[in-house]
Structure 1
Amino acid sequence: MKVKVFTVNSFAKTLEGGNPAGVVLDADSLSDESMKSIAGEIGFSETAFVMKSESAHFKVRFFTPEEEVDLCGHATIATFYVLLSKGFIKPGVFLQETKAGILSVEVKVDSSIMMEQNSPSFYEIVNKKEIADSLNITEYEMIDELPVQIVSTGLRDILVPVKNIKILNAIKPNFEEVSRISSKYNTVGYHVFTLESLFGSNAYCRNFAPLYGICEESATGTSNGALACYLSKYGKINKRQDHQFVMEQGYLMKRPSEIKVELRVEEQEVIGVKVGGKVLNLSEKEVEI
């Protein structure tokens, strides 16, 4: 049996940039094993499988080459771009059913996509030395006034602040330790960032999720949604931007990515999170299962 898989680059800053994702439409007949097999064959960090839903416009499931995850930002952006490009939807607001809940997705007239994430949950603060050792840096290379903390807008990530881009680019993680610590804290991985940027953005980031078979990812929607909430909580926000954030990622991988985040804030509490960006390089291939 042959299955058609669409591929695109989500959050792309340039034609070479963004984070590649696979999208399979009409996936209702596929078994879990088939979906995992397809995701492994495509080899991207995530592949999305679109199905019928009784409670939303679409049901979407997300598989890494290793296993299923509850939500994936860049694969959601990819999914709705493919649906738009293939004429299944027009610009507007849609609901997607995921294992992280029913979330809205806005498809804009310029073909950019913004997806709703859950309001943030802030969890434990993690020992800086433990994280630093796994990244082969010292805790003194981290930002003093910011904690290493687990935050989620759908997936639990360990947010790790470092002092500058030079330190961040030089990091060579011990991936076995990163996996062990990620498992210990029931997180997907580390989202390591600095408040320095290349092009005037809010943060410059790298993302490590070896526990899920992703040593490094070039653009991570859920992690950057969590990061924007974290920056808002700890006062690292430009008031002129009115809770509009831009994050840079993927540059060291030669896959420049730009992730936009919009927060809705009432009485200093984040009550709404949207993450999105542009999509480029739509193509398709067939996978035999």
Structure 2
Amino acid sequence: MTQLSGAPGSDILRYTAFSADPEGGNPAGVVLDASGLDDEAMLAVAAELGYSESAFLTGKNGVEHTIRYFSPKAEVPFCGHATVATAIALAERDGPGDLVFSTRAGTVPVTVTREGDELRATLTSVEPQVTEISPDDLTEALAALDWPAADLDPAFPPRISYAGARHLVLGAATRERLADLAYDFARLEALMHRLDLTTVQLAWRESPDVFHVRDPFPVGGVVEDPATGAAAAAFGAYARALSLVPEAAVLTLHQGQDMGRPGTLTVELRAGDPRVRVSGTGARIG
């Protein structure tokens, strides 16, 4: 835990999300009282930590917390793993229960429950949207990734999916294709800035409801995100919109295995509700 200079009580906490093991999942910085920090200070904290994102609670109105997210390079509208990390940090301090986060993307309810010795947080996304990507932009994305078009799974048409942040979803034809990730950082970053993408969600289907995913994140200043809650929500919306899964389903996404930081994200789709629920455990680091 690090104390922020000039901001009493504003400790920098470190949590991992989507794993109960501090060595797994996706690390995030969490500041539960960032009311005294300006944008430059929050960006500096995120850059110093070097995690894909850090979360800052900048205010509270009743039960609703205002939350902001910064990567080492820029502010992002929504971050799922930092939301989970923050919710678990609050639950450790105040006890499990219901929370409401006000994000730049909209209102995100979160419920934290205790399962034995573990805390599990479930966020409910904003209403998602799924749109097509132009052939030229897809060609550029594949060139930046160094993926031949033949390596795509034809059952998973490329789309841009949004559930708080925009992600390009690409289906890998094989697990080997997914495991081999060596891309042109600057070229993919440029395309993602132009398309306003947060990550590229690369997915391989192991079984009807089990997927393995990876998320290049050059716009955030890191090569790859270990466990991406916002992309998991976007993927759930994508899979349902294209009828790849039932309207009501529970999906398991494994992420981080190829990075040595395995995590598990649970995606729940409910009939009649367009929003997507993403849940996972978390743990304090250090």
Report the TM-score when normalising by structure 2. 0.90
Write the mapping of 1:80-91 to structure 2, written as runs, cut at 5 A: 80-86=87-93, 88=94, 90-91=95-96
Deviates more, 1:102-111 or 1:213-222: 102-111
In structure 2, the residue matched to 1:286 is: none
* Pair 246,126 (structure 1): closer, same or farther in 2 beyond 3 Å: farther
Contact 1:209 1:216 in 2 (8 A): yes
* Pair 9,264 (structure 1): closer, same or farther in 2 beyond 3 Å: same
Counterpart CA distance in 1 for 2:170 and 2:140 is: 11
Asked if 1:134 corresponds to 2:140, the answer is no
> How many equivalent pairs are there?
274
Write the mapping of 1:73-112 to structure 2, written as runs, cut at 5 A: 73-86=80-93, 88=94, 90-110=95-115, 111-112=119-120
SS at match of 2:52: coil
Contact 1:119 1:271 in 2 (8 A): yes
Deviates more, 1:187-196 or 1:66-75: 187-196
SS at match of 1:195: strand
Counterpart CA distance in 1 for 2:71 and 2:178 is: 25
Counterpart CA distance in 1 for 2:20 and 2:157 is: 29
Asked if 1:146 corresponds to 2:172, the answer is no
Asked if 1:218 corresponds to 2:223, the answer is no
Deviation at 1:19, TM superposition (A): 0.2
* Pair 84,158 (structure 1): closer, same or farther in 2 beyond 3 Å: same
Q: In the alignment, which of 78, 81, 104 is matched to residue 71 of structure 1?
A: 78
Counterpart CA distance in 2 for 1:193 and 1:5 is: 33
Structure 1's consecutive aligned runs of 4 or more residues displaced over 6 angstroms after TM superposition are none
Deviation at 1:245, TM superposition (A): 1.1
* Pair 235,117 (structure 1): closer, same or farther in 2 beyond 3 Å: same
**Equivalent position amino acid for 1:235 in 2:** S
Asked if 1:233 corresponds to 2:241, the answer is yes
Structure 2 residue runs of 5 or longer lacking an equivalent are none
Deviation at 1:272, TM superposition (A): 2.2
Q: In the alignment, which of 206, 214, 227 is matched to residue 214 of structure 2?
A: 206
Counterpart CA distance in 1 for 2:245 and 2:47 is: 39
SS at match of 2:40: helix
In structure 2, the residue matched to 1:287 is: none
In structure 2, the residue matched to 1:275 is: 278
In structure 2, the residue matched to 1:188 is: 198
Contact 2:15 2:22 in 1 (8 A): no
SS at match of 2:55: strand
Counterpart CA distance in 2 for 1:48 and 1:36 is: 10
* Pair 41,149 (structure 1): closer, same or farther in 2 beyond 3 Å: same
* Pair 124,238 (structure 1): closer, same or farther in 2 beyond 3 Å: closer
In structure 2, the residue matched to 1:22 is: 29
In structure 1, the residue matched to 2:263 is: 257
Structure 1 residue runs of 5 or longer lacking an equivalent are 284-289
Q: In the alignment, which of 49, 57, 68 is matched to residue 56 of structure 2?
A: 49
Counterpart CA distance in 2 for 1:51 and 1:13 is: 27
Contact 1:53 1:97 in 2 (8 A): no
Asked if 1:114 corresponds to 2:132, the answer is no
Deviation at 1:45, TM superposition (A): 0.8
Deviation at 1:201, TM superposition (A): 5.4
Counterpart CA distance in 2 for 1:177 and 1:7 is: 31
Contact 2:199 2:231 in 1 (8 A): no
Asked if 1:155 corresponds to 2:160, the answer is no
Deviation at 1:124, TM superposition (A): 2.5
Deviation at 1:55, TM superposition (A): 6.6
SS at match of 1:191: strand
Contact 2:206 2:212 in 1 (8 A): yes
